[in-house]
A and B are shown apart, each in its own frame.
Chain A
Amino acid sequence: MSKVKDRVFSFSKEILKEPDRNRLMNLYNQLHKNSSTQSNIGYYGRKQYKQFLGYLNLNARKEEINMNLPGEISGLNDETYESFVYGHNFIRYINTQCLAPLIEILPAAYKMVDPYWEIDPKNSFNSEVIIVNDEFNKLIRSFQMSKPYKIIKNKLELFPAIKDIKEQDFINGFFGMRERIKKFGFNNCPEELFDIVMKINQNTHTSLFSSIIFSLLYINASLQCIDQIIFQKFTSDKLKSINENNISKIYNMSSNSLSQIYELLTTEPVLFCGDILYLDIPRQNDNIKDFCVIDKLEISFSQEYGEEFKIGLRGTDDNFSFYGNLLSNIKV
């Protein structure tokens, strides 16, 4: 079975053939020009880390925001708005198709794994976009055949009573673990994660529940990366690369219960967390090559030391998830 990651890149090439792609890219670039009257919504919209939805959401709330910060957020012009609605629904269609079988067997999952549910539960910018494309179909099939799906399906078959668990308990479990992960920061993992992982294959209620929660976290992480790569393909011709020509120092390359992590200093302008870039670190025997998501970013500039970007990256696995290690000990 082809890797999800390979399928994502094959499909993303098809985006270049989309008739509206170049127009959308030009509008996006216009938005981000310093001279643009829309440049502040450009900057703040990007920092929502929700692809096109970030801009649309900010645009919808601009009056509410500007009551506290007058004149801070300008709106999107009509042409940009319509293009971004299209782009957003293009990505949303991918999410919907990827998640369809999961929602059938576990309806509560939608509120957890869909990357857009939290910020836009009512799907406010709905517009019909359907993708008809062979590469797209292959991507969806590959995603639905991936390990987390199999884990959830098998655990539910093993213990059907899980379906009777209240939706709120699932939500509490998912978001509770997600907040714990965030609280411990980029370099660390929740202390209890190791213990949970050690017992994850036992046939206890707790272990089965944990397996499903971990799989949902994994799927959510995977979709975040897929959405971001598709967004980057719409808005840019080039994927940023961090390599020996712009790496100044490597602080840390290690692995924990969640991810492969890299912490390094670069001079390559890296402006937004959530972006995906290509990492290529030369080593004696073999290079480290990985598509990574930016999890941490510190930008500094001074006349003494120039401009520096200290970045924390999470590597992605074959399913394009940045929590690749979370499922490594779980038996399907």
Chain B
Amino acid sequence: MEEIKFSENPIKDTWKILLKYSYTSNIERYLKETVENHFIQSIAGSIVQSYEYFSSFTKVSLNTSPLLLYYGFVNLIFAGSSMITKEKIIIKNHGLTLALPTNDSKKIGDCLINISNSNDGAYKTYNSIFSDNSNFPQKIKLKDIFSMIPELKNDFEECYDQPSLCLPVEVVKRREGDLERIEIKDIIQDLSLVEIVDYEKCYIKPQTTNKYIILRKKINGIDIGIRSISGQKFLYQYLEINNQKYYFDVLMIYFLGLYALGNISRYHPEIWYPFVQTDQTGEKSIVEDFLSLAHRILPNLILNKILDKRITFTNNEIGLIDKTTEYDPEDVKKIIKEELRGRN
């Protein structure tokens, strides 16, 4: 279900709704059952702390902003998980560790995130709540995380000279039947290597023309893919690591990325400070965009999960449905019949 809200400041208006759940009565009303007071206070406190971390993000430099955003997100995802599951979330550690690149790479993107299989780690716990995929790799590079952010696609491919895992989709609405398509020029790897996550749940066999890969939905297919902030649809490709194929929920993608950047900025200032001051590779721009997207998107995504609907903020006029440009083929037939009757 989608709800469209008018807003001139989506970040502010998202938090306005989220902060309603810093009031215990609103939390009780949401949970619809009697719970212990400290459980409610943990949710309320986490939301307020999260808001303060997210607000602080905009007031500091890149030297410390990743850590603030990570802490803010950890609080927010804790609050969201608690509300959705109505259960106390037990977490003892991040469930992640970071390894700096061992080769000569000077790229932040080559940092390796180790993902623990421990049941009391944050990553695995939240993954089990928000993702339909319990399968994840032991290690993943930070740049692989960036490759899964649709809005970063073009800059990612330019910076790292490898294909993004996000494919932009054009949705074409026609009277004969809707279809979707991917422009061939948006795919920089060999077409035969393209493998879209959950493709067969949604589409029939694709067709390829000189310009497009044409996708048509199955009559009972489910919807797949994600939407960027602009509303454009993207499909994910699988991430292949050691001949295994993986895909991630968007919340977990940001979780991994924010953990890595927070960890590097906090525990490795000898790497982070020069990176922030003197990066020549263009990676800094990607990191800044990633953080900026996280700042905008994550509160919205958590709110969507809490309310179980997709909330879209727009500054277009709402409440007006204009059908003057639409026509029913039956109306056309009537017009033609009247015209012919008139002539006879």
Chain A interface (Cβ < 8 Å from any Cβ of B): 244-250, 265, 267, 281-282, 302-308, 310
Contact = CB atoms under 8 A, between A and B. Distances in A.
Interface in B189-241: 204-205, 207-212, 214, 216-220
B337 to A, nearest CB: 15
Cβ-closest 10 pairs across A and B: A249-B177, A306-B214, A306-B207, A248-B216, A303-B209, A265-B177, A303-B211, A244-B218, A248-B177, A282-B220
A303 B214 CA distance: 9
B176 interface: yes
B179 interface: yes
Contacts of B178: 249
A265 B176 CA distance: 8
A160 B214 CA distance: 63
7 contacts: A244-B204, A245-B218, A246-B204, A248-B217, A265-B176, A282-B219, A303-B212
Contacts of A308: 176-177
A267 B206 CA distance: 9
- Looking at chain B's contact residues, the main secondary structure is loop
Nearest to A298: B176
Nearest to A250: B219
B205 A244 contact: no
Contacts of A304: 209, 211-212
- Chain A interface helix/strand/loop/mixed: strand
- Interface size bucket, B side? 20 to 34
A320 B210 CA distance: 42
A302 B177 CA distance: 15
A275 B176 CA distance: 23
Nearest to A251: B177
Contacts, number: 53
A184 to B, nearest CB: 15
A22 to B, nearest CB: 29
Given A248-B177, A248-B179, A265-B176, A307 B220 contact: no
A265 B179 CA distance: 12
Nearest to A284: B220
Nearest to B200: A245
A268 to B, nearest CB: 9
A49 B169 CA distance: 41
Contacts of A303: 209-212
Q: Which residue of B179, B217, B218, B219 has the most chain A CB atoms within 10 A of its CB atom? A: B219
B219 A305 contact: no
Contacts of A310: 176
A304 B208 CA distance: 10
Nearest to B172: A305
Contact of B204 (A245, A250, A302): A245
Contacts of A247: 204, 218-219
Given A250-B219, A265-B176, A303-B212, A245 B205 contact: yes
Nearest to A301: B209
A314 B212 CA distance: 33
Nearest to B174: A305
A244 B219 contact: yes
B16 to A, nearest CB: 41
A305 B208 CA distance: 9
Given A303-B209, A304-B211, A305-B214, A244 B220 contact: yes
A175 to B, nearest CB: 29
Contacts of B211: 303-304
A306 B212 contact: yes
A5 B305 CA distance: 53
Contacts of A267: 204-205, 207, 216
Nearest to A308: B176
Contact of A281 (B176, B212, B216, B219): B219
Nearest to B218: A244
From A247, A267, A306, residue with most partner B Cβ within 10 Å? A306
Contacts of B210: 303
A138 B218 CA distance: 40
A249 to B, nearest CB: 4
B176 to A, nearest CB: 7
A307 B177 CA distance: 13
A138 to B, nearest CB: 37
B158 to A, nearest CB: 27
A69 to B, nearest CB: 32
B282 to A, nearest CB: 34
B105 to A, nearest CB: 41
B297 to A, nearest CB: 32
Contact of B179 (A244, A281, A282, A305): A305
A246 B207 CA distance: 11
Given A248-B177, A248-B179, A249-B176, A307 B207 contact: yes
Contacts of A249: 176-178, 219
Interface string B34-49: 0000000000000000
A27 B92 CA distance: 74
Contacts of B177: 248-249, 265, 308
A245 B176 CA distance: 18
A103 B146 CA distance: 78
Contacts of A281: 219
Interface in B46-105: none
Given A245-B205, A306-B214, A310-B176, 10 more contacts: A244-B220, A247-B218, A248-B179, A248-B204, A267-B216, A302-B209, A303-B210, A303-B211, A305-B214, A306-B209
